[in-house]
Structure 1
Amino acid sequence: MVVTPPSSAFRFSNLFKDHPDAVAAIACGGLVFLGWQMLNLGWLGIAFFVLTAAYVIGGFDNAREGLTTLFEEKEFDVDLLMIVAALGAAGLGLWRREYTLIVDGAVLILIFAISGALEGYAMQRTERSIQGLMSLTADVARVLRNGQEQTIPISELKMGDQVLVKPGELVPTDGLVIEGFSTLNQASITGESMPVEKAIGDEVFAGTINGNGVLRLKIHQPPESSLIQRVIRLVQQAQTEAPPSQQFIERFECGYAKVIVIAGLLLGTLPPFLLGWSWEETIYRALIFLVVASPCALMASIMPALLSGIANGARQGILFKNGAQLERIGRVRVIAFDKTGTLTTGKPEVVNILATQPSTDKLLQIAAALESLSEHPIGEAIADFTRQQNQAWATARNVQAQAGQGIIGDIEGQQAIVGKAVFVQAQVNHVATNLIEQSQQWEAEGKTVVWVAYAGEILGLIAVADTVRPTAAQAIARLKRLGIERIVMLTGDNSRTAHSIAQQVGVNQVYAELLPEDKVDVIRQLQKQYQSVAMVGDGINDAPALAQASVGIAMGAAGSDVALETADIVLMADRLERLEHAIRLGRRAQGVVKQNIVFALGFVMILLIANFAGNITLPFGVLGHEGSTVIVTLSGLRLLRG
């Protein structure tokens, strides 16, 4: 009999498997606390055993990394310095029988164990993002060879092969339509708000979803060169490139550790010859130097502040995936927005109606009678709107859909027609000039216009469009007042629709008809000019640009899984107005971190000077070191407010 483990045990095993650093930090913290309590109770043997376990569990990875860096790269780093300082404190505590110093050394190790756990979490994002992208690619394809249909793996496809794509299926690879007609949902690839009609000669992309038609495709390029595969490679490349700030921090840590270790060695050997100190005094001062110079306060000046900012953002519906992005968003000068699903709702709706009769009831009833039988999103929008108006409609009979043109059917013995202008106008007696003018005006505004006719007469027009989010214009206005220098729009939609939306929300510049790789190019151009650029998006097509941007921001409710995984920040409720709060929070975090760094370095300098003057004892040095760490930690907690 198979016994299913409890869910709690399952979650803990996953935690240990996926985040061993976090488990080590938690265990180290518990052991440090337990050892401190045992020490207070006078149980020295148990206390030494527990604290030794804390040293080993919390410091193993740091010691290994520090020694690896030392022997393989011939460099000192902060990990090694932390281990030396902690062991020095422990050794001195045993030598002088000041056992609280062992606890101080364990606390040093605990602080770095927590930092390592936080870094480990961020390293797992790339793999999850790529797995999400891979889910959009089909494993097999239907190939027509020698007049027969065969199912073969994508990897076996060759240029010139003919692929069959049935209704509702995922397109397996890029290709050219050589037979058939259908509408494809390309929102995940190009960001277009409406399904796109595909006929003979048109190109279709892997990862898009076929509509109701059957398509025969001819492969015109290798499957590994398909658009979705290029998207995957772009995400991999952008996420593995270390930003300049991260490189600077790594160089600073190595340089700082090297200086402190060399200074510690000199302080432990030269004073007897130069200053006449005793060897006991020299070693004592050298160990105090290693303790007070340990960069715990410096490191604590950053992470508590950033974690507090992250917690603050979470309460406001803003998910920061790591602390570095909280800092970076405060430096953003340009924000690029995707259009569909970001500045707009991503769902077509009826926005305008023009009827030739005083009442719109007949117009809606005829249109809904035919469109309710269609699976096209525009038809669904018209049917839904008619239901909301509490309108009922008769049953349409003998309904026939004309691919890419419209629908014809019989309603109560009369012919009804719904569709494009040319298709409907060709089958009616007269078309009023005002209808043509209004149709052209709506189309110029980026709307899709549906003509409706019944019994040989035009009943009117229905305009359908992807509507702007109610808070979009206000959110962009606030960003401009906040000092954001430029707001741009990046979209795969057509230029006319894009400029119409941009005018409504107040965007400065529009880049339209872009593929995912084009969006990355635009982001790179903006980064060359403005350095720090944020990208806000929600679709698969936005993933490479989100990864390339200095800060990638995804829409949480409407966003695709890949966009959410790739982005650095997620707006959980799709509230664009929260961007202002995120930027203000980032700027506050920068200010607090700078204040903490100045204080931490200043306090270290004071302790070092006092140590050289011989005016402090080791307990006082440890107290000063830990005290400065506590102060900068509490300072960072200020970001929890507001």
Structure 2
Amino acid sequence: MVAATRFTSRFTNLFKEHPDAVAAITCGVLVFLGWQMLNFGWLGVALFILTAAYVIGGFESAREGLTTLFKEKEFDVDLLMIVAALGAAGLGLWRQEYYLIVDGAVLILIFAISGALEGYAMQRTERSIQGLMSLTADTARMVRNGQERIIPVSELKIGDQVLIKPGELVPTDGLVIEGFSTLNQSSITGESIPAEKTVGDEVFAGTINGHGALRLKIHQPPESSLIQRVIRLVQQAQTEAPPSQQFIERFERGYAKLIVIAGILLGTLPPFLLGWNWEETIYRALIFLVVASPCALMASIMPTLLSGIANGARHGILFKNGAQLERIGRVRAIAFDKTGTLTIGNLQVVNVLSTQPSTDKLLQVAAALESLSEHPIGEAIAQFASQQNLHWTTAVNVQAQAGQGITGEINSKMAIVGKAAFVQAQMNDAAKTLIEQSQQWEFDGKTVVWVAYAREILGIIAVADTVRPAAAKAIARLKRLGIEQIVMLTGDNSRTAHSIAQQVGVDQVYAELLPEEKVDIIRKLQKQYQAVAMIGDGINDAPALAQADVGIAMGAAGSDVALETADIVLMADRLERLEHAIRLGRRAQGVVKQNIVFALSFVVILLITNFTGNITLPLGVLGHEGSTVIVTLSGLRLLRG
């Protein structure tokens, strides 16, 4: 009893979450059972089971087809499928050829599976929006007349003041009027280094405050905040049907209208024009509906794309739907995010220059202070010193100077780590070589930290986000593959962006971008090229991923929102798999075109043969199903390679 209750509960939940999938699976099971009952000669049971398959699998298609017919005065493929299936069933009952009823049930099953896949895509879109919504706070701590009050964000007005305590999520965009802190803006800009904010600076909703308290003044309505604009951009980009999708929908309706009209004419005119009897006329009209149904045409595409998806999965490429496999083969321009995509996304020590023969003392002093800091730069320095198997004395009396550096005492002597001006102001003059090298590293886009101890400058340490080892090679291969334009989109500063771009070989750099500005650039690229792909990993990349013809997310480093929004995921963050994905997409395009030509040609042959009266219904069904099997097997070729 308990097991039965659990099963019922799970099935109920599954049906609520995925009704289309449950209907398709149930229909498939019933079709198989009905076919087996016919084999056993249990006609009554078989007809009952197959009737259930028709109702369960065809209900949604029938509803959509009739809605389109009565509301929009248009025929669509859903209605054509229902007519063809019922025609096959009626003909099977009339001539007592009951396997025709199974053929009609198979038509319904194919469309039920298609509807389930479409429902899954819609649910994925909803999850991506919900992920973005989780970045927004519901309430804010408003300050008025010295009193704090928690109110809904929606009630905030321009001019209100909001207090942001350490570690809190910023509820809406605002201008800092009091305080200093560092904010984690990775959700907005994608950059791993926290941004320093002080009086006069703008902060964004969805970012996380550091260790300082900030008082903000609201300068625009909460619904106009950057994160809300990001949400609207994702919603808009994911609900807009691309031109190719609009063409397919028009083609389906035109095809259905043509077949229905032709079926009606074939079922009424031959007795008057060709002298056929009515039994022969109806027989030929029903054969026409069966052989003209678009099963082979549909099988020209889905098995091919599903085989390509399976191939991609074996190579660490996750295609979320078959349309994107086909579309990536048409890509002629690719936009890369920088941080976490072309780069690893974590700060690392990349250069060390000491005034002494060994760098040990320099690193030990820096680590003694930075190991007590929670700043990403400090973490990178402390981690690097540990990797060198160095040990250091814990500093005391440590004090952080906001936006400048950190000071402390080691063995009763003053130690300082921080920006050049902050360190040099308290020490002896720095060596010319250190100044020149520091300027060069900063020109290359690196962050330079100066280290001093006992009134002596020990040297400098450069920290940066490092390029992925495979990035340059992957981009070179993409260019050899015929990709016409490769660009970088980043919220980072222009100097760092150009330094990374030079190392990996991208064609053009767009730096210091907000999420909506990335979308604008994707749109410009789409006007110039046939199809544009966007590759990113952060929440800030979600609108651009949604806007691009093909959105590609980094699987290991990617945020949940990026993974949900993207059409393709590169598992294990292997950029070199992009080449395989594009080649696979181009192969899929070729196989689909071959299958479509074959399927349409076979339909034409069957229709001509039926019109001349040289085909029986069993032969028509055999030809119809045979062509479907052939194009299905053709699509399975993509499993190789």
Q: TM-score, normalised by structure 1?
A: 0.98
Question: How far did residue 8 of structure 1 move?
Answer: 6.6
Q: Which range is displaced more, 85-94 or 493-502? A: 85-94
> Partner of 1:382 in structure 2?
381
- Alignment-derived partner of residue 105 in structure 2: 106
Could you say if the C-alpha distance between residues 535 and 169 of structure 1 is closer, same or farther in structure 2, counting changes exceeding 3 Å? same
Question: 1:384-403 to 2 correspondence within 5 Å?
Answer: 384-403=383-402
CA distance in 2, matches of 1:461, 1:131: 45
Q: How far apart, in 1, do the equivalents of 2:10 and 2:507 lie?
A: 48
Task: State how far apart, in whole Å, the 2-side matches of 1:535 and 1:6 are.
Answer: 47
Counterpart in the other structure of 1:151 = 150
* CA deviation map 1:406-448 (0-9, x unaligned): 1111111211010000000111112100000000000000000
C-alpha change, 1:220 and 1:7, in structure 2 (3 Å) is: farther
Aligned to 2:556: 557
Structure 1 residue 13: Cα displacement: 3.5
Distance 1:12 1:471, change over 3 A: farther
Deviations 1:553-596 (A, max 9, x none): 11111111111111111112111111111111111111111011
Q: Which residue of 2 aligns with 1:536?
A: 535
SS of the residue corresponding to residue 347 of structure 1 reads strand
Name the counterpart of 2:413: 414
> Which residue of 2 is the match for residue 215 of structure 1?
214
Residue 6 and residue 478 in structure 1: after superposition, are their counterparts in 2 closer, same or farther (change >3 A)?
Answer: farther
Aligned to 1:51: 50
CA RMSD of aligned residues (A): 1.3
Q: Is 1:181 matched with 2:180? A: yes
Cα 1:608–1:5 change in 2 (3 A) is closer
The CA deviation at 1:230 is 0.6
**Residues 1:6 and 1:351: Cα distance change in structure 2 (over 3 Å):** farther
Deviations 1:209-255 (A, max 9, x none): 11111111111111111100110111111111001111111111111
Cα distance, 1:10 vs structure 2: 5.7
1:638 lines up with 2:605 in the alignment: no
Q: Distance in 2 between matches of 1:443 and 1:14?
A: 57
Task: Give, in whole Å, the separation in 2 of the partners of 1:515 and 1:476.
Answer: 24
Deviations 1:97-154 (A, max 9, x none): 1111111111111111111111111112222111111100111111111111111111
- State whether residues 596 and 632 of structure 1, in contact with CA within 8 Å, keep that contact through their aligned partners in structure 2: yes
* 1:56-205 mapped onto 2 (5 Å cutoff): 56-205=55-204
Segments of 4+ moved more than 2 angstroms: 3-15
Q: Partners in 2 of 1:6 and 1:422 — Cα distance?
A: 71
| Amino acid paired to 1:43 | W
Matched, 1:302 2:301: yes
1:487-517 Cα deviation digits (max 9, x unpaired): 1000000000000000011111000000011
Q: Is the 8 A contact 2:30 2:52 kept in 1?
A: yes
Distance 1:472 1:456, change over 3 A: same
2:255 paired with 1:256 = yes
Structure 2 distance, partners of 1:10, 1:423, is 65
Other-structure match for 2:279: 280
Structure 1 counterpart of 2:513: 514
Q: Give the Cα separation in 1 of the matches to 2:480 and 2:248.
A: 32
Structure 1 match to 2:578? 579
Note if contact 2:348-2:465 (Cα within 8 Å) is conserved in structure 1: yes
Residue in structure 1 matched with residue 25 of structure 2 by the alignment: 26
Query: Secondary structure of the residue that 1:521 maps to in structure 2?
Result: helix
2-side partners of 1:253 and 1:45: how far apart?
A: 36
Aligned to 2:364: 365
Map of 1:242 onto structure 2: 241
How far is the alpha carbon of 1:74 from its aligned partner?
1.1
What percent of counterpart residues are identical?
A: 86
Give the letter for the 1:387 counterpart: S
Kindly indicate whether the alpha-carbon contact (under 8 Å) linking 2:330 and 2:530 is maintained by their aligned counterparts in 1: no
CA apart distance, 1:166: 1.1
* Contact in 2 for aligned 1:126/1:239 (Cα 8 Å): yes
C-alpha separation between the residues in 1 aligned to 2:71 and 2:56? 23
In structure 1, the residue matched to 2:605 is: 606
Cα deviation for residue 192 of structure 1 reads 2.2
Q: Give the TM-score normalised by the residue count of structure 2.
A: 0.98
Q: Residues 193 and 493 of structure 1 are in contact (CA less than 8 Å); yes or no, is this contact kept in structure 2?
A: no
Q: Is 1:499 aligned with 2:498? A: yes
Note the C-alpha offset of 1:12: 3.8
Indicate if the aligned counterparts of 1:66 and 1:76 stay in contact, CA closer than 8 A.
Answer: yes
Give 2:366's aligned amino acid. A
Give the residue type in structure 1 aligned to 2:384.
Answer: F
Question: How far apart are the structure 2 equivalents of 1:78 and 1:257?
Answer: 5
Tell me the SS of whatever aligns to 2:449: strand
- How many Å separate the matches in 2 of 1:541 and 1:138? 17
Query: Residues 12 and 581 from structure 1, CA distance in 2 versus in 1: closer, same or farther, beyond 3 angstroms?
Result: farther
Q: More displaced, 356-365 or 76-85?
A: 76-85
Of stretches 237-246 and 185-194 in structure 1, the one that deviates more from structure 2 is 185-194
In structure 2, give the amino acid aligned to 1:621. Answer: G
Distance 1:311 1:6, change over 3 A: farther
Q: CA separation in 2, counterparts of 1:608 and 1:224?
A: 58
- Structure 2: stretches of 5+ with no match in the other structure: none
For 1:67-116, what per-residue CA distance to the aligned partner results, in whole angstroms no more than 9, with x for missing partners? Answer: 11111111111111111111111111111111111111111111111111
CA shift for structure 1 position 9: 6.0
Tell me if structure 2 keeps the 8 A contact 1:553–1:569.
yes
Secondary structure of the structure 2 residue equivalent to 1:483 = coil
> What is residue 35 of structure 1 aligned with on the other side?
34
> Amino acid of the residue matched to residue 411 of structure 1?
I
Query: Partner residue of 1:349?
Result: 348
2:438 aligned residue = 439
- Aligned residue for 2:469, secondary structure, equals coil
* Distance in structure 1 (CA, Å) of the matches to 2:527 and 2:144: 50
Where 1:451 maps in the other structure, the secondary structure is strand
Unaligned runs of 5+ in 1: none
| 2-structure distance, mates of 1:408, 1:123 | 54
Report the counterpart of residue 467 of structure 1 in structure 2: 466
Does structure 1 retain, via aligned residues, the 8 Å contact 2:181–2:197? yes
Question: Whole-Å Cα distance in 1 between the matches of residues 395 and 352 of structure 2?
Answer: 22
